[in-house]
A and B are shown apart, each in its own frame.
Chain A
Amino acid sequence: MSFLNYLVSGLSLGSVYAIIALGYTMVYGIAKMLNFAHGDVIMVGAYICFFAFTRYGLNPFLSVVLAMLVCTCLGIVIEKLAYKPLRAAPSLAVLITAIGVSYLLQNLALLFWSSNPKVFNPIIPNKSINIGGLTVSYITILAIVVCVAIMIVLTTFINKTKLGKAMRAVSEDKGAAQLMGIDVNTTISVTFAIGSGLAAIAGVLLCSAYPNLTPTTGSMPGIKAFTAAVFGGIGSIPGAFLGGLLLGIIENLAKAYISTQISDAIVFGVLIIVLLVKPAGLLGKPTREKV
């Protein structure tokens, strides 16, 4: 395989990380918490799609929509039951709760769906096309296209719509946002809903590329996407996008040219170096402001 091949497949993997990282970063930006259960929502989304599409032969598009709906509801319920009661609690308590929710989801999956890997059928034909001598699989293209589309829609939503602007206001100052008449609880719910819906899409794309589905499928991509979000600047939407793509590319090139075994170590090593130089991440928001 050529360098370009590795680059394109890295971009595709990075697109999946970016979609997951968007969920991390939006929730962090607004609720100021790290939702470590986010990776497991990906896994749930992948299972739903697996059952709908592979098992019961539902139309692939509808299967994805169904997975998104389930994950959206799941995200809202998790926020209501686990995080909302802790709104005023110390962040360590929230963090531990999030880790607890993560294990809960994995164990429920184990209970319902067992640890036997499910073989996930890709939602689009497992074929490739040749672009100027470069062989690219459909799923690779799909991941990149979907990621860019999500990014455009999300950016427009945040910058142009009333609800999107309210989300930015809540992320900056909850008290002041309430004084504008913004319902902070609803805004936080919407953020979880969007993040979880995106997680479902990420789950489907991930399992279409790596078809081995188990209850822990979401863990590693979840951690890597979290890394990507920090890499790009946690809380920043363009940062999550950039961080995800870069992480995927670095991981793939490290696998190709250095070693498959230590590729993850290389990825995290790069992260540490970037954070030493730019502690707020690549596109981290400047916190300086005039008073």
Chain B
Amino acid sequence: MLDRTSGSLLEISDLQAWYGESHILHGATLHVNAGEVVTLLGRNGAGKTTTLKSVMGIVGKRTGSVRFEGRELINASSNAIARAGIAFCPEERGIFASLDVEENLMLPPQVRAGGLSREQIFDLFPNLRERLRSQGTKLSGGEQQMLAIGRILRTGARLLLLDEPTEGLAPVIIQQIGNTIRKLKEQGFTILLVEQNFRFASTVADRYYIMEHGKIVEQFANSELSKKLDTLHEYLGV
């Protein structure tokens, strides 16, 4: 059966997820086409992070369907999901204190050919080059975010899950991250971006989903943005 989403790089349907007893996702359905930047918006606690974690297989329990390149991953282990070609940049960045910057950068193993080289990563984030010997967590917040994004670009994964990469950062750094996301898109990366910063998202996204109480409640393309501002205000309270 052919439907509108078939052929998408990532297809999530009726995704349910739990942390222990608490039921967080109640049937989320969304898709990301190859080469797109798709932004997932929603209030605090709506389930955005949980959606990304469910794709990566790091929540307590999940049901429904997560297909990547047509392959079902709902029961796969998180290491197998990463090996399938999906890379995750967590909200808390996850820089390792016991590793220096270089070790942090080189940590994620290559899962496919075609990742960025070290030099290409340093071109995107020149700050990292100077700090290779520093302890990972000694970097500034912005530098840690660059490291967290930079290290997953090496792996060859073509789908990047970025969880609030601009959270708590200064405007110039946010701009740099925006530029990076646009460059990555030009290079053919597909990105599922979680954001609270709607103005930032509007500078990079092709499409949007709005999540509330663990469900997708609205979706629209960037071209429809001006028409949807009221809806957005309603859902996000911005």
On whether the two chains bind one another, the answer is no
